[in-house]
Chains A and B, each alone.
Chain A
Amino acid sequence: MKTQAKFIAVAGIIVITLVWLGWVGVTESKTYYYTIEELGAVQGDRAAQRMRVGGDIRAGSITRLSGRVDFVIEQEGHSLEVSYVGRDPLPDTFTDRAQALVEGQLMPDGRFVAEKVQAKCASKYEAAPGETKPGGTSGYDSKEKPGGSKSSASR
């Protein structure tokens, strides 16, 4: 019994240390996710935090300036102006209408300054709603294709 008590004590110390390390790790690296809509309501302390916002890049909005790249992301009718200031080149998937995930801070003027941009072109590999490729009639699932389109799918 004494040995068991000792074991539990040592195990407890280990667990407490790890919990503490974990807590420190969380405070150091936590990043808030917001939707563009929620971003409008973020104020005070929380506005200075590191955050991540996702959206689709508005077609034609990408402007490459020296030292930064400006673009606009949209999500459910709301839009956000973003300036990318990171030093890594933007990913190849970063194109008009791609899904982008930007990480950085919100400036007081409402512009988002991103240090990191991830982009994915999901629609290239997965069938997306209403997506068509030039030169082909690609239709996949009738559920994903709202009316008005000629093609639909069957099993």
Chain B
Amino acid sequence: MDIFGSFTLILGFVCAVYAVGAGIAGISTRHPLLVKSARQASLAVCALVTLGTASLAYLFLVNDFSNAYVTSHSSRELPAFYKFAALWAGQEGSLLFWSFILALFVASVLISNRGKHPELMPYVVVVMAGVQTFFLILNVFIVSPFRVLAAEGAGGAMQIVAQADGRGLNPLLQYPEMVIHPPMLYLGYVGFTVPFAFALAALLGRYPGEKWIHITRRWTMITWGFLSLGILLGAHWAYAVLGWGGYWSWDPVENASLMPWLTGTAFLHSVMMQEKRGMLKVWNIWLVFATFLLCVFGTFLTRSGVVSSVHAFAQSPIGPWFVGFILLALAICIWAFLKNRDYLRSQNQLDSMLSRESSFLFNNLILLAACFAVLWGTLFPVISEAVQGTKISVGPPFFNKVNIPIALFLLFLTGVGPLLAWRKTSLDSLKRNFGWPLAAGLVAGAIAWPLGFRNFYALVCLILSVFVTGTILSEFFRGARVISSRTGRNFFSGVAQLTMRNTRRYGGYVVHLGMVLVFIGVSGAAFNQDTQMEMPPGTTMQIGPYTLVCQAFTTMPGPNFTAERATLEALRDGKQVMMLYPERRFFPASEVTSTMIAIYSTLREDLYVVYAGRSPDNNVPILHAYLNPLVKWIWLGGIVVVFGTGLCLLPNRQPPAAARESAGPQAPAAREETEVAAERNHVGSRR
């Protein structure tokens, strides 16, 4: 199976190289058969990589401990569920997994665009096959997952040697979320290859019209959704598994996933400027390029450890390859841009500060500033070493200092931007749209202040959250009222109908609402508390309104570990609310101990208890309890964001004619409808 797996990957590599070569030849000679063969070769790559990945999964499932990768990341008693997760637990496997996800994306792009865009697709095939080639080089020649263990046998010949058992999967990865989180994040990272391919293809081929931007936007939306979900699952994993009481620590690996998310978010907004007003074409194309490059860079940071540890860089052979690939891709982008920059000439200029355009510009400015700050902070050790010769790292205070104000300004724009008109907004409409929400926000702030909400940023966040929620709800309310009064149905079916008529707009509002929930959740961190103490059975610990009573410590066996479990009774204001069982697990296969956290989670706060270890002096168990307000809102917000992204991707449900009819000039609330119709006409006329 090792040989079969290696063979599929080598063949896949050959096909990918062929697809690039035949594609370029086909484009320059305009030979349809060459173009077609490039496409078929690209599909063959997808099939071969899938087979290769399946053979690695097979090796894991049959416990083939003659394979080096399987031996390092699995063991006999590892549950089958985690044997799949072990596929991407190490460098070799996760890079193969990259190729596999890319294969899925490439195949779905090629199949869904079969016979469409004959001018554009050959370029797309070439770009995607180029990216596939790079990852297959890594999979085949640099870090192959199909290396076998061998030893010198009788007569000096090499023989395959199988181990009796593997070393087991890192216990930190033996957690259900770890099975979903990496695929989601990878779907996000890898998926940006598709918008990148379309953008570069349109630029290289000088593809007429704006059709490519619609395709790019759609794919960006899909991958953005996966990336958001991946980031949140990662944060949740860190929260629920690592046991330090938080979900985000500005670790280089976390930053790596945040950067493309920031530029991707910027693109999803500024692309509207191009669709509606023909502006920012250069900017948009560079946002797509940057997002893709940051995704590759993120994979590089995650896999090479260039920042978190200098030593890992030298050990890992993939570093120079990644740097080379990023530089090559950047060079191609710059070359394509210089060659065809007249293709991206802007059609309009900024008309007013109080307009949708300017709110998008500010949105982009600060998303990019945030991205730059994160990049700067992440690479600070590398930069300072190059400039000053000393390696200096910056910690969370740096990131928080810069990013909290940015985030709050962004939250403000989330409320304001969507309600500003294109070109120019009158003061009158400002008052009408923002009066009530702003008042509601200020009232909420005035109520919260005496209740002990004294942190400045948290208070601003609360006011803005209420304000933004107000603007979003009023949008739904006004629109739905018009529809329900016209159709005679109830208000909620009005909301549903409104959303389905313009999924993009209202789905976007839902995403914004989800982000507001995330903001509320994050702002709770301003009020975190924690206590740590030695707790033999019978002792109690007080944290906030909770009392923890330690009842017992027991030892119990698990499938591939032994657990030491603390039994704690949690009381809130004297009443029992829950039993908590934080654990320490010992995994004999890897000789590693890990902790299992116990969380009592409510909308108001999380009581988070870690069995931290035993005191070195007297062997008494130490427990660490955290009280983290509002954390649950982050996860709820994440679900809403993903749901909203899904809504945005649904097709609109009403013919444009009907929407135009329903647009009455008399009622102020009908502004919504007029705008819905206007928007649709605009898009319609382009087709």
**In the docked arrangement, what's the CA distance between A21 and B369, Å?**
12
Q: Is the CB of B144 within 8 A of A155?
A: yes
**In the docked arrangement, what's the CA distance between A7 and B90, Å?**
48
Q: Kindly identify which residue among B147, B390, B399, B584 contacts A25, using a CB–CB cutoff of 8 Å.
A: B399
Q: Which residues of B lie under 8 Å from residue A28 when comparing CB positions?
A: 397-398, 401
Given the known interface contacts A29-B396, A92-B592, A153-B148, the answer about A22 and B373 at a Cβ–Cβ threshold of 8 Å is yes
Q: Kindly identify which residue among A25, A124, A125 contacts B401, using a CB–CB cutoff of 8 Å.
A: A25
Q: Is the CB of A89 within 8 A of B622?
A: yes
**In the docked arrangement, what's the CA distance between A31 and B250, Å?**
15
Q: Which residues of A lie under 8 Å from residue B406 when comparing CB positions?
A: 18
**In the docked arrangement, what's the CA distance between A105 and B264, Å?**
41
Task: Digitize A136-150: 1 where CB-to-B-CB distance is under 8 Å, 0 elsewhere.
Answer: 111111000000001
Tally inter-chain residue pairs, CB-CB below 8 A: 171
Q: Which residues of A lie under 8 Å from residue B6 when comparing CB positions?
A: 155
Q: Which residues of B lie under 8 Å from residue A140 when comparing CB positions?
A: 68, 72, 147, 149
Say if the beta carbon of B205 comes within 8 Å of chain A.
Answer: no
Given the known interface contacts A33-B381, A151-B161, the answer about A25 and B398 at a Cβ–Cβ threshold of 8 Å is yes
Say if the beta carbon of A88 comes within 8 Å of chain B.
Answer: yes
Say if the beta carbon of A14 comes within 8 Å of chain B.
Answer: yes
Q: Which residues of B lie under 8 Å from residue A64 when comparing CB positions?
A: 616-617
**In the docked arrangement, what's the CA distance between A138 and B310, Å?**
26
Task: Digitize A1-29: 1 where CB-to-B-CB distance is under 8 Å, 0 elsewhere.
Answer: 00110110011001101100110111011
Among the 9-residue stretches B76-84, B360-368, B517-525, B549-557, the one with 4 or more Cβ atoms under 8 Å from chain A is: B360-368
Given the known interface contacts A92-B594, A133-B167, the answer about A18 and B369 at a Cβ–Cβ threshold of 8 Å is yes
Q: Is the CB of A7 within 8 A of B353?
A: yes
**In the docked arrangement, what's the CA distance between A154 and B401, Å?**
51
Task: Digitize B155-168: 1 where CB-to-A-CB distance is under 8 Å, 0 elsewhere.
Answer: 00010010111010
Q: Kindly identify which residue among A10, A30, A138, A154 contacts B163, using a CB–CB cutoff of 8 Å.
A: A138
Q: Is the CB of B376 within 8 A of A22?
A: yes
**In the docked arrangement, what's the CA distance between A87 and B362, Å?**
44
**In the docked arrangement, what's the CA distance between A34 and B350, Å?**
50
**In the docked arrangement, what's the CA distance between A136 and B242, Å?**
30
Q: Kindly identify which residue among B352, B358, B391 contacts A32, using a CB–CB cutoff of 8 Å.
A: B391
Say if the beta carbon of A93 comes within 8 Å of chain B.
Answer: yes
Question: What total of chain B residues lie within 8 Å of the partner, measured CB to CB?
Answer: 74
Q: Kindly identify which residue among A15, A90, A135 contacts B613, using a CB–CB cutoff of 8 Å.
A: A90
Residue of A nearest to B146 (CB): A155
Question: What total of chain A residues lie within 8 Å of the partner, measured CB to CB?
Answer: 55
Q: Which residues of A lie under 8 Å from residue B365 when comparing CB positions?
A: 11, 14-15
- With most chain B CB atoms within 10 A of its CB, the pick from A7, A127, A140, A155 is A155
Q: Kindly identify which residue among B68, B310, B394 contacts A30, using a CB–CB cutoff of 8 Å.
A: B394
Q: Which residues of B lie under 8 Å from residue A138 when comparing CB positions?
A: 71, 149, 163, 167
Interface residues of B in 620-645 (CB under 8 A from A): 622, 624
Q: Is the CB of B147 within 8 A of A141?
A: yes
**In the docked arrangement, what's the CA distance between A92 and B596, Å?**
13
Q: Is the CB of B394 within 8 A of A26?
A: yes
Q: Is the CB of B373 within 8 A of A18?
A: yes
Q: Is the CB of A14 within 8 A of B369?
A: yes
Say if the beta carbon of B328 comes within 8 Å of chain A.
Answer: no
Q: Which residues of B lie under 8 Å from residue A54 when comparing CB positions?
A: 309, 311
**In the docked arrangement, what's the CA distance between A121 and B171, Å?**
12
Q: Which residues of B lie under 8 Å from residue A43 when comparing CB positions?
A: none
Q: Is the CB of B398 within 8 A of A29?
A: yes
Given the known interface contacts A18-B402, A21-B402, A22-B398, the answer about A139 and B149 at a Cβ–Cβ threshold of 8 Å is yes
**In the docked arrangement, what's the CA distance between A145 and B164, Å?**
21
Say if the beta carbon of B435 comes within 8 Å of chain A.
Answer: no
Say if the beta carbon of B446 comes within 8 Å of chain A.
Answer: no
**In the docked arrangement, what's the CA distance between A151 and B161, Å?**
9
Say if the beta carbon of A45 comes within 8 Å of chain B.
Answer: no
Q: Is the CB of A7 within 8 A of B147?
A: no
Q: Which residues of A lie under 8 Å from residue B312 when comparing CB positions?
A: 122
Q: Is the CB of B149 within 8 A of A151?
A: yes
Say if the beta carbon of A79 comes within 8 Å of chain B.
Answer: no
Q: Is the CB of A136 within 8 A of B163?
A: yes
Q: Which residues of A lie under 8 Å from residue B358 when comparing CB positions?
A: 3, 7
Say if the beta carbon of B210 comes within 8 Å of chain A.
Answer: no
Q: Which residues of B lie under 8 Å from residue A137 when comparing CB positions?
A: 151, 161, 163
Min CB–CB distance A142 → chain B (angstroms): 9
**In the docked arrangement, what's the CA distance between A89 and B595, Å?**
12
**In the docked arrangement, what's the CA distance between A18 and B403, Å?**
9
**In the docked arrangement, what's the CA distance between A125 and B305, Å?**
15
Q: Is the CB of B532 within 8 A of A88?
A: yes
Q: Which residues of B lie under 8 Å from residue A66 when comparing CB positions?
A: 617
Task: Digitize B340-382: 1 where CB-to-A-CB distance is under 8 Å, 0 elsewhere.
Answer: 0000000001111100001001100110010001001000110
Residues of A within 8 A of B (CB): 3-4, 6-7, 10-11, 14-15, 17-18, 21-22, 24-26, 28-34, 52, 54, 64, 66, 69, 87-90, 92-93, 99, 101, 121-122, 124-127, 133, 135-141, 150-155
Q: Which 9 residue pairs across A and B have the least CB separation, nearest first? A: A25-B398, A33-B391, A25-B401, A64-B616, A89-B613, A29-B397, A92-B593, A29-B395, A151-B151
